[in-house]
């Protein structure tokens, strides 16, 4: 084990330490930065869901066969469900990170509030676009199953 001869001399400048110069851990906002990707997932979900709906509308206009139209709607509904589920899971992870930050001994409330604001806005946008999609296709006529022997 080596000792520095002069304790007041600075440590080797090429060496990095985990502990900051004051002896504290990195700032709290850096902990929330790990969940920024989750916030982006939630924020982008509403745009992606709206895009899927627009694409479906375009494809439905070009298709006259009821069974094919129903297949397109089912396919798009599955895609929307996957995007929404990803957004829900990301929202839960980011919300937990915000709550954990708020409960810390020395929380970074500015960063936590900023992330919570973004999350709430993104969540509202996702819910709005999902309501719009549900209303748009809820009243489409169903395609009857073929009868046996027909």
Neighbours of 96 (CB within 10 A): 12
Confidence at residue 32, expressed as pLDDT on a 0 to 100 scale: 75
Q: State residue 87 phi and psi, 5-degree precision.
A: -65, -40
pLDDT attached to residue 34: 75
In this prediction, residue 49 carries a pLDDT of 96
Domains in the chain: boundaries: 28-137
CA–CA gap between residue 35 and residue 84 (Å, rounded): 18
Tokens of 119: 């999350």
Question: What is the mean pLDDT of each successive set of 10 residues along the chain, which is 150 residues long?
Answer: 48 44 46 83 96 95 93 94 96 94 89 93 96 76 54
**Token representation of residue 21:** 């110069």
Tokens of 4: 């520095």
Residue 26 pLDDT: 39
State the pLDDT at residue 139.
57
């Amino acid at each position: 084990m080596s000792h520095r001869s002069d304790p007041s001399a600075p440590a080797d400048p090429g060496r990095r330490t985990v502990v900051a110069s004051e002896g504290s851990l990195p700032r709290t906002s850096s902990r929330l930065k790990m969940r920024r990707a989750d916030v982006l997932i939630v924020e982008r979900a509403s745009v992606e869901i709206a895009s899927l709906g627009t694409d479906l509308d375009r494809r439905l206009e070009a298709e006259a066969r009821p069974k094919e139209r129903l297949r397109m709607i089912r396919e798009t509904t599955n895609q929307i469900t996957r995007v929404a589920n990803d957004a829900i899971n990301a929202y839960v992870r980011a919300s937990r990170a915000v709550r954990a930050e708020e409960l810390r001994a020395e929380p970074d409330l500015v960063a936590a509030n900023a992330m919570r604001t973004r999350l709430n806005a993104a969540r509202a946008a996702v819910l709005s676009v999902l309501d719009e999609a549900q209303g748009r296709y809820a009243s489409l006529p169903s395609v009857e199953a073929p009868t046996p022997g027909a």
